[in-house]
Amino acid sequence: MSKKSKIIVGAMALGVVLALVLSKGLATKDIDMLNSTAEVEITAENLLSVLGEGNQKAIDSLKSERVFEVAGWVKETNLMNGRITVLLKGNEDLPPYIICDMMPHQKKAVSQLKPNDSVKIKGIFKGFLKDAVFLDCIITFSQTND
């Protein structure tokens, strides 16, 4: 094989590798929440008590970007900003709350929730502002409390 041919083959191989890397990167999928295992299982009350105490060390120990499963009570559901959102509360009907931005396929399940229902919601913990924020959430358990 001539030197020229080697360069052409090398360039083509490099192009294929680059294309594969780029396509893999662009096709990076969001987390498969249905099949992911929760790294942290916690009650809404416990999670909110960390926030309420304002203990920065305890707050920092709750690392973001991990999958949490939170058990609590529904404060409200809404479609604000065109997003499906569930707000969870602890034992008391007072702020702070847990704001769960639900995955699109959860619309039907969320529409069946009522205030004070018991739920478990799995999602990615993003951090605290006044409230705890979760994205990519799904309902893993719900029970009506009439």
Partner 1 sequence: MIRATLLFSCILVLGHQLKAQKVIARQGHVAFFSYTPVENIKAENNQVLGIVDLETGEIAVSMLMNAFIFEKALMREHFNESYVESDIYPKATFEGMVLDFDADLSQDQTRIIKGNFSMHGVTQEIEIKAKIGHRDENYIISGTFDAVVKDYEIKIPPLLAGNIAKTVSVDFRFECLPYED
**3-7 LR contacts (CB < 8 Å, sep 24+):** none
101 binds partner 1 (CB under 8 A): yes
**E strand spans, 24-66:** 40-43
Tally the residues of the chain. 146
H or E element that contains 14: helix 3-26
CB atoms within 10 A of CB 138: 19
Closest approach, Cβ 121 to partner 1, in A, equals 15
Closest CB 130 distance from partner 1, rounded Å? 5
* Nearer of residues 8 and 94 to partner 1, judged by Cβ: 94
Site for partner 1 in 26-85 (CB under 8 A): 26, 28-30, 64-65, 78, 80-81, 83, 85
Rounded to the nearest 10°, the torsion over CA 117, 123, 128, 129 is -70
Our finding on whether 138 is near partner 1 (CB under 8 A) is no
Nearer to partner 1, 5 or 56 (CB): 56
The H or E element spanning position 138 is strand 132-143
Q: Is 95 in the site for partner 1 (CB under 8 A)?
A: yes
Q: Which is nearer to partner 1, 1 or 80 (CB)?
A: 80
Please give the residue ranges that form the binding site for partner 1 (CB under 8 A).
Answer: 25-26, 28-30, 64-65, 78, 80-81, 83, 85, 94-95, 97, 99, 101, 126-127, 129-131, 133, 135
